[in-house]
Amino acid sequence: MKVRLPQGMGGGPSNMQAMIKQAQKMQEDMAAKQMELEEREYEVAAGGGVINVKINGKKEILSVKIDPEVVDPDDVDTLEDLIVAAVNEAIKKVETVSSEEMQRITGGIGLPGMF
């Protein structure tokens, strides 16, 4: 007894080869995009621009700039909070951009282990 698969289900070796090639191309595109994203740099400001953080796509903080006017020795807590907010915003920006770029490659297919 010969079982026939509905159109688009199986389709023989050439269809399978095309799917494998497409998956390999997507994997190559994703690897190239990941390298590109890791090289990017982002600048994020917090506290109305008194704290600026530069971060790369690997989520490594490259620099922190603090407006001297916000440095108050009697209020270190506020300065610490501003730095934390700026760093968290920078990390969030890297993750958002990376996720959006990868979704363009995968067509929105959720792949395990991605961002």
Q: Give per-residue pLDDT as tens, 24-78.
A: 988 999 999 999 999 999 999 999 999 999 999 999 999 999 999 989 999 999 9
- Number of structural domains the chain divides into: 1
Report yes or no on whether pTM surpasses 0.75. no
- Would you say residue 33 lies in a domain? yes
Report the candidate in 94, 112, 108, 76 with the shortest Cα–Cα distance to residue 40: 94
CB 59 within 8 A of CB 67: no
- Would you say residue 4 lies in a domain? no
Q: 7: alpha, beta or left, given left = phi > 0 and alpha = psi -120 to 50?
A: beta
Question: CA-to-CA distance for 38 and 98, rounded, in angstroms?
Answer: 9
Which CATH number belongs to the domain containing residue 43 in this structure?
3.30.1310.10
DSSP assignment, residue 5? P
> What pLDDT is attached to residue 107?
80
Question: CA-to-CA distance for 110 and 30, rounded, in angstroms?
Answer: 13
Is pLDDT of 9 > 70? no
- Would you say residue 62 lies in a domain? yes
- Would you say residue 75 lies in a domain? yes
